[in-house]
Structure 1
C-alpha cells in the first residue's frame, strides 16, 4: 500500500502528512498533560517528587518501552538513524545539555513547551521561541557554528555499536524491553500516587507513543521507498529552524517530516486550548522580565544544536532508541536545570532577606 502511495504522491508528501499527524497527536496530548521537562526539573530542585515529575517519567518511559517493543516485534529498525549511525559528540552532549538546561529554566519551558504554549496565545513563548530558533540556525550554519563545531570535536564517539547502549541482537535485549515496560508501569503507578487523573496519565502516555509513532512511520516510508529517506521522529529545534529559514530564503519549501510536525503540534495544542477555554493573550509582565526569557532562548538554541537535539529530540526521541549521546544529553539537561533553579532560588532568598 505504501508503495502505491509513494508512486502516487511521492515520499515528500507522505513524510509531510506523517509529521502533521504525529504533530497533532503530540501537541494535543502535551497540552492536556502539561508535559514539561522544565517543570519536572524545578520540582525535583525544590525537593519534591510530585505530579510534574510523574508526567515526564510517564511520557519518557512510554516512548522508551513502545519503541523498544516495536524493535523487538520487527516493525522498526533504527540502526540507520542519525542518533546512532553518525559520529556522536559526548562533549557536545554534556556541554550542550548543561547550557540547554540552564536556558530552559530561564525561559520557563523547553522548545516543545514553548511551541505548545504559543498555541494558547502566550506571547512570551512566541517571542522566546523565535529567539531560540534564530539562535539554533546561527549555531548550525551561521556565526555561532565555529564555536559549536569546536566544542563538538572535543570528545567524539564513532557511529554504530559504540553509540548504542543496548544492541537489539544481544540475548539480554528481551530483559531490557521488559525492564523498560516495568518502568513505564511504575511511572503510571507513581502518577496515580501523586494525584494525577487517568486522563492526565493517558495524555502523557500518548506523548510518548507519538515519539514511537514518528519512528515507525518514517521507517515504514523509508523501507518502501527507492530514495534515501531519513528514519526520524519528534524533535523541534532543527525542524523549526529549517522551516523558518525556508520561509524566509526559499521560494519553494522541501516537504519533510519536520515541516509537518511543527504546525501539527501548534494546531493540536491550539485545539485543546480552545476546547478547554484556556486560549488567551499572555504578555510579558513586570515580575516576568523579558531579558530572562531572551537569554534563555539563546542558551537553548545554542545548547540544542550542540547537544544534538532539544529536551524531546535528544532526551526522549534519542533516549527511546538507547542512543548513548542522547542519554548523556538528557542527564546533563537535568543537571543544568536543577542547578540553575536552585541558584535562582538562593539568589531570590538573599535579596528578600
Structure 2
C-alpha cells in the first residue's frame, strides 16, 4: 500500500526514477569502495593470476545470483517479466558485441560502469571516455549506426519471440540458480582468503550484486501497481547512458529508471570517494593513451548496444536471471578482453582500474 501511495503522490515515472536513484546510489558506493571492474578481473586472469580483482568480480557475480534467485523463490521477483527476457535475444549480437565490448574495455582501461565511477572521483580520462561511450551508444540505438546494429543482431536470434532462460532450457530445478550462486561465492571467498582481502571490501563487493537484485525487485514491484506498463529492469549502462545523454540535448526529458540510475551511480561514487578521501582531479597522464581510451569507449558503445548490455547489464544483471544471450555475451567479453590484453600486454604496463 505504501508503494501505491507513493505512485499516487509523485507519479509512475518519478517513482521509477527514484528507484533507479536508490539502486544507482547503492551500486556507486559499493563499486567505488570495492573497486569492482570486469576489465580488471579479465586482465588479471589473462596474466595468469587469480588475485583480488578476480575474487571481487566473482563475489559480486555470485551475490547477484544468490539475491536474485532467492528473490524469485520468495515470490518477490519474476524473471519472466523482465524486459531482457520478454523480447527476442540476439546470439550474433551477443558474440560480436561481446567481443567488441571486451576489447574496448581493455583499451579504455575500464568497463563502462567503472568509467562512470571513476568520473565521479575526478578522473578526466574517464569523463571523456564516458561521453564517447554514451554518444556511440546513442548512435547505435537510434542514430547513424543503428542500421548496422540491426543487421548484425538479426543474423541469429533466439526462437519463440523471447530470450532463452538457461535454467528452463536445461530443465534444471528452480533452486539450481541459487545453488550455483552459492558455489561461486565459496570459490570467491576462498580466493579472497588467499589474497587477504579485508572484510570491508568483501562487503562492498557483495553490495554491487545486491544493487542488481534491488533494481530487479523494485521495478518488478512497481510494475505490479502501475497503471501504465513499466519496464522490469536493473543496473546496466549502455542504454541508460544513451538516454541520459539525450536529457541534455532534448526537452522535455523523460523521467524514468535509467535517468535515476546514472545519477545515483555518480552520486554514490562521489560520496564514497569523498568518504575515503579519494577525490582527486586527474588528467590524461598514465599508461593508457587517450587514443586507445577513445577507441575503446567507441567499441564499448556499439558493442554494448549490440550485445544487449554492458559488463554490468549483460554480465551481471542479465546473468543473474540466466538470460541465454547475456551469458554468451559475458563469455565473449572475457574472450575479447583476454585476447586484447595478450596482444597488447607486451607493449604497455596497464594501471589498475
Q: Confirm or deny: 8 A CA contact 2:319 2:326 kept in the other structure.
A: yes
Unaligned runs of 5+ in 1: none
1:308 aligns with 2:308: yes
Do the aligned partners of residues 169 and 289 (structure 1) sit closer, same or farther apart at CA in structure 2, a change above 3 Å counting?
closer
Q: Confirm or deny: 8 A CA contact 1:161 1:167 kept in the other structure.
A: no
Structure 2 SS opposite 1:167: helix
TM-score (norm 1): 0.95
Q: Confirm or deny: 8 A CA contact 1:86 1:158 kept in the other structure.
A: no
TM-score (norm 2): 0.95
Aligned residues: 348
Residue in 2 that maps onto 1:219: 220
Do the aligned partners of residues 289 and 168 (structure 1) sit closer, same or farther apart at CA in structure 2, a change above 3 Å counting?
closer
Do the aligned partners of residues 173 and 286 (structure 1) sit closer, same or farther apart at CA in structure 2, a change above 3 Å counting?
closer
Q: Which runs of 4+ in 1 moved over 4 A?
A: 159-162, 168-171
Residue in 2 that maps onto 1:15: 16
Q: Confirm or deny: 8 A CA contact 1:71 1:168 kept in the other structure.
A: no
Q: Confirm or deny: 8 A CA contact 2:65 2:177 kept in the other structure.
A: no
Choose 224-233 or 160-169, whichever is displaced more: 160-169
- Looking at structure 2, the residues matched to 129 and 173 of structure 1 have their Cα atoms a distance apart, in angstroms, of 38
Structure 2 SS opposite 1:109: coil
Q: Confirm or deny: 8 A CA contact 2:88 2:162 kept in the other structure.
A: no
- Looking at structure 2, the residues matched to 51 and 315 of structure 1 have their Cα atoms a distance apart, in angstroms, of 19
RMSD between aligned alpha carbons? 1.7
1:70 aligns with 2:71: yes
Residue in 1 that maps onto 2:274: 274
- Looking at structure 2, the residues matched to 209 and 61 of structure 1 have their Cα atoms a distance apart, in angstroms, of 10
- Looking at structure 1, the residues matched to 156 and 339 of structure 2 have their Cα atoms a distance apart, in angstroms, of 24
1:101 aligns with 2:102: yes
Unaligned runs of 5+ in 2: none
- Looking at structure 1, the residues matched to 186 and 147 of structure 2 have their Cα atoms a distance apart, in angstroms, of 44
Structure 1 SS opposite 2:143: coil
Deviations 1:254-299 (A, max 9, x none): 1111110101111111111111111111111274321110001110
Residue in 2 that maps onto 1:283: 283
- Please state how far the C-alpha of 1:85 moved relative to its aligned partner: 1.4
Choose 178-187 or 107-116, whichever is displaced more: 178-187
Do the aligned partners of residues 207 and 162 (structure 1) sit closer, same or farther apart at CA in structure 2, a change above 3 Å counting?
closer
Q: Confirm or deny: 8 A CA contact 1:98 1:332 kept in the other structure.
A: yes
For residues 1-353 of structure 1, the aligned pairs below 5 Å read 1=1, 2-158=3-159, 163-167=164-168, 172-250=173-251, 252-285=252-285, 287-347=287-347
